[in-house]
């Protein structure tokens, strides 16, 4: 027993994971195929049972555990039935099949905007439509096709749920709850002497925040869907990250005295963060702590806006006509902490209870709180219905490529023409450089597989018993080795696999290998053509454009907000076109960032369009969110105008931050005549943020704190 365990432990993790998945797919595909082919003598049902399991079990890459994949497949079962039915009826003519391929191909690829799980299932669903969309036109066999498809998917669902069950990693809600508890601990420490955090506390806060970054969260756990729960959970994660950042940056109280009202606010923040963590763990809504913090924040805001009151017991402040600048700066920082916590409470409630949430929400920030699922899907689709969306680009690229492949296969009557479409589907990538690299290794692998097939068919001939014995063994090897060794191995092994299948469905010769190689060559050529014509650089260029557009929109909001705070007559209230434009820019940048993380560096490219080598793209997204939320907090409710000196200072600082945003945006996405030159890492006039006009009110310090944080974000973005 010990020796066996030692052997298992020596298996590399990649092979162990793909091996477990290969066992599931092999059991299901072989069981369904042999049941109908040899047990019931129904070759059509056997074909569909095998390809249904291979489509969603092999070609699809649905993230998550087996139980999560099984749950998604159950929900997609009616979609699979519809695809088989529509594909069968449209295969009557080439032109109907081509039109159907264009519409269905675009719809399935565009459905990736629903989140990582739908994106992973899309290739498998495409295959389920491709298979019945080819001749023969045989609507009388629709029952057998649906029977085979249903059987294959039902067996796959059972295998995913029961065979080699996997432990589920910590969910995003659990990560957010842990981060909220960490924030509560930090707030409690800052509320009590010595009002500082230890090195261990700072490290714990940083680790809790990093655990919420998309790069560290498994795909299946990311809140990327359009529904209320996912949107609110994403906002909860962003709010708790912001809260942790504000807490660790809180300056020490001058003279060791926190000031009136500060201790109450920090304790209220701790209670709300704790209640939010409990809510995220399916506890009660944090209604009372949220109201308590709102009252404490309002009291502190009123205190900081007026003369210093007489010292309260325990505060230790001496009498003074007005608070000194150091105290007002700390008040502004504490109020930003309270603002982040006030966003966390309703976001956590919405993430758990959806439209039945109890915590009062701001309509502008949580506009989706009362919307039903179809409305939210419509918002998501409308937000990405344009050429600047990478979801739209990918859908257009793959739909056109599949349509062209179907047209060529229909006009030229390619033998096994759906193999050409399968090659187009599996080999087309989001960048031209990566598509060309994949095609080269795929063709090499296919050629090697075709040689093996030709030799096997020539030697074995029509002895189907040999193919029946070899098929499950080869499937197990192919689905284990292919995902680990790459596309070349996968194509070669799959070439032999399909030959073993079709050799059992009818008489076959070495020309089956020739047809397979020809179809892969045609399909890969079509994929390369459309990869070259349709956004050949994928999300790499789009990330730069989206980030630059986000910063340009943010610069407009900064200027308008600074002018409004200064009393210059301009305003940018929540919900106005400026804020809506920035919200849409954030959405497009987030989708580009999601695809950017999965793409390799593209080959070549003009040097002038190369962004800094070490761009913190997530800092760009944080700057956009920070601009949006900070502007809303400063402008709601309306506040009295600043004095002349403070207004002039705020206006100048706002203009400087906006100018800095425009400089960084030009560096990220330079135009043809953009002047070249390095963007300084440190703002050359950063000392202006430390200078205060005498007698400036609290609103001045709140605005300067916001602008200073934005400048920090920009410094991180531009670091190279």
pLDDT for the residue 578: 59
Cα(363)–Cα(21) distance, rounded to whole angstroms? 45
Instruction: To the nearest 10°, report the CA torsion of 377, 383, 386, 391.
Output: -60
* Average pLDDT, integer, range 77-99: 93
Q: Could you give the percent of the chain with pLDDT greater than 90?
A: 31
What are the C-alpha distances in Å from 216 to residues 3, 219, 231, 307? 35, 9, 19, 47
Task: Using pLDDT thresholds of 50, 70 and 90, give the confidence band for residue 569.
Answer: very low
* Average pLDDT, integer, range 287-314: 74
Taking alpha carbons only, the member of 567, 559, 550, 557 closest to residue 629 is: 557
Q: Could you give the percent of the chain with pLDDT greater than 70?
A: 83
The set of residues, in sequence order, having a beta carbon less than 8 Å from that of 696 and lying 6+ positions away, is 325, 328, 642, 643, 645, 646, 649
pLDDT in tens, 20-35: 899 999 999 999 999 9
* Average pLDDT, integer, range 397-418: 80
Number of neighbouring beta carbons within 10 Å of residue 461 = 13
Q: Is the pLDDT of residue 687 over 60?
A: no
Q: Is the pLDDT of residue 600 over 50?
A: no
pLDDT for the residue 608: 36
Q: Is the pLDDT of residue 472 over 50?
A: yes
Do the Cβ atoms of 337 and 265 come closer than 8 Å?
yes
Q: Is the pLDDT of residue 8 over 70?
A: no
Q: Taking all residues of the chain, what is their mean pLDDT, rounded to a whole number?
A: 81
pLDDT for the residue 36: 94
* Average pLDDT, integer, range 193-222: 88
Write out the two tokens for 293. 């913090």
Torsional class of 361: left (φ above 0), alpha (ψ -120 to 50), beta (otherwise): beta
**Range from 66-70, 103-107, 375-379 carrying the lowest mean pLDDT:** 375-379
Q: Is the pLDDT of residue 314 over 70?
A: no
Do the Cβ atoms of 187 and 266 come closer than 8 Å?
yes
pLDDT for the residue 363: 60
Q: Is the pLDDT of residue 287 over 80?
A: yes
Cα(618)–Cα(622) distance, rounded to whole angstroms? 6
pLDDT for the residue 636: 67
pLDDT in tens, 531-551: 776 665 555 677 888 889 999
The larger pLDDT score, comparing residue 154 to residue 306, is at 154
Q: Is the pLDDT of residue 351 over 90?
A: yes
pLDDT in tens, 475-523: 999 899 988 888 888 888 888 888 888 888 877 666 677 777 777 888 7
pLDDT in tens, 669-683: 876 556 555 555 445
What are the C-alpha distances in Å from 441 to residues 18, 49, 54? 21, 30, 22
**Range from 148-157, 552-561, 574-583 carrying the lowest mean pLDDT:** 574-583
* Average pLDDT, integer, range 133-140: 86
Cβ-in-10-Å burial (0-12, 13-18, 19+) of 514 comes to middle
pLDDT in tens, 38-57: 999 999 999 999 999 999 99
User: DSSP letter at 55?
Assistant: I
Task: Using pLDDT thresholds of 50, 70 and 90, give the confidence band for residue 321.
Answer: very low
* Average pLDDT, integer, range 373-393: 82
pLDDT for the residue 677: 57
């Amino acid at each position: 027993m010990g020796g066996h365990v030692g052997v298992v432990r020596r298996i590399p993790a990649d092979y162990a994971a793909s091996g477990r998945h290969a066992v599931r797919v092999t059991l299901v595909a072989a069981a369904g195929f042999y049941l109908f082919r040899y047990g019931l003598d129904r070759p059509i049902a056997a074909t569909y049972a095998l390809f249904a399991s291979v489509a969603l079990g092999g070609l699809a890459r649905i993230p998550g555990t087996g139980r999560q994949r099984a749950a998604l497949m159950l929900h997609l079962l009616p979609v699979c039935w519809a695809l088989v039915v529509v594909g069968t009826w449209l295969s009557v003519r080439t032109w109907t099949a081509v039109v159907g391929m264009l519409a269905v191909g675009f719809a399935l690829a565009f459905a990736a905007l629903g989140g990582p799980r739908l994106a992973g299932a899309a290739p498998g669903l495409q295959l389920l439509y491709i298979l019945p969309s080819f001749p023969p036109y045989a609507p009388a066999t629709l029952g057998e096709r649906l029977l085979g498809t249903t059987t294959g998917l039902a067996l796959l669902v059972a295998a995913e749920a029961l065979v080699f069950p996997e432990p589920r990693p910590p969910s995003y809600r659990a990560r957010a709850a842990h981060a909220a508890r960490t924030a509560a601990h930090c707030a409690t420490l800052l509320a009590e002497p010595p009002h500082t955090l230890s090195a261990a506390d700072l490290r714990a806060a940083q680790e809790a925040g990093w655990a919420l970054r998309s790069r560290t969260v498994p795909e299946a756990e990311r809140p990327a869907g359009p529904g209320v729960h996912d949107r609110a959970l994403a906002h909860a994660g962003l709010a708790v990250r912001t809260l942790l950042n504000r807490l660790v940056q809180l300056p020490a109280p001058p003279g060791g005295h926190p000031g009136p009202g500060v201790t109450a606010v920090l304790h209220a923040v701790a209670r709300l963060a704790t209640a939010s963590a409990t809510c995220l763990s399916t506890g009660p809504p944090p209604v009372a702590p949220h109201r308590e913090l709102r009252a404490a924040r309002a009291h502190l805001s009123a205190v900081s806006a007026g003369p210093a009151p007489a010292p309260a017991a325990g505060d230790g402040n001496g009498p003074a006509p007005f608070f000194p600048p150091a105290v007002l700066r700390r008040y502004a920082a504490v109020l930003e902490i309270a603002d982040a916590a006030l966003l966390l409470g309703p976001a956590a409630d919405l993430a758990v209870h959806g439209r039945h949430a109890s915590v009062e929400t701001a309509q502008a920030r949580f506009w989706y709180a009362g919307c039903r699922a179809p409305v939210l899907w419509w918002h998501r689709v409308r937000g990405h219905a344009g050429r600047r969306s990478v979801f739209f680009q990918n859908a257009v690229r793959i739909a056109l490529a599949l349509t062209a492949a179907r047209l060529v296969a229909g006009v030229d009557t390619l033998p096994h023409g759906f193999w050409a479409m399968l090659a187009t589907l599996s080999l087309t990538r989001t960048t031209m450089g990566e598509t060309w690299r994949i095609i080269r290794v795929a063709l090499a692998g296919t050629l090697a597989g075709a040689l093996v097939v030709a030799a096997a068919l020539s030697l074995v001939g029509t002895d189907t018993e040999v193919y029946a014995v070899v098929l499950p063994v080869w499937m197990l090897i192919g689905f284990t080795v292919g995902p680990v060794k790459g596309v070349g191995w996968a194509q070669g092994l799959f070439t032999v696999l399909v030959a073993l299948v079709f050799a059992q469905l009818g008489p076959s010769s070495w020309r089956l290998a020739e047809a397979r190689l020809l179809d892969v060559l045609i399909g890969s050529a079509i994929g390369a053509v459309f990869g070259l014509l349709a956004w050949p650089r994928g999300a790499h260029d789009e990330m730069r454009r989206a980030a630059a557009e986000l910063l340009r929109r943010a610069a407009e909001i900064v200027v308008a907000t600074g002018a409004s705070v200064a009393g210059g007559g301009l305003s940018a209230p929540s919900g106005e076109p400026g804020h809506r434009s920035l919200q849409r820019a954030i959405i497009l940048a987030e989708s580009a960032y999601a695809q950017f993380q999965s793409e390799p560096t593209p080959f070549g490219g003009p040097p002038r369009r190369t962004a800094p080598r070490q761009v913190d793209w997530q800092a760009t997204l944080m700057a956009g969110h920070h601009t949006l939320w900070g502007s809303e907090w400063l402008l709601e409710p309306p506040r009295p105008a600043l004095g002349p000196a403070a207004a002039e200072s705020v206006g100048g600082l706002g203009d400087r931050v906006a100018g800095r945003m425009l400089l960084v945006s030009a560096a990220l996405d330079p135009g043809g005549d953009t002047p070249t030159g390095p963007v300084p890492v440190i703002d050359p006039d950063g000392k202006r943020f430390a200078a205060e006009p005498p007698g400036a009110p609290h609103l001045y310090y709140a605005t300067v704190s916001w602008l200073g944080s934005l400048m920090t974000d920009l410094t991180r973005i531009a670091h190279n």
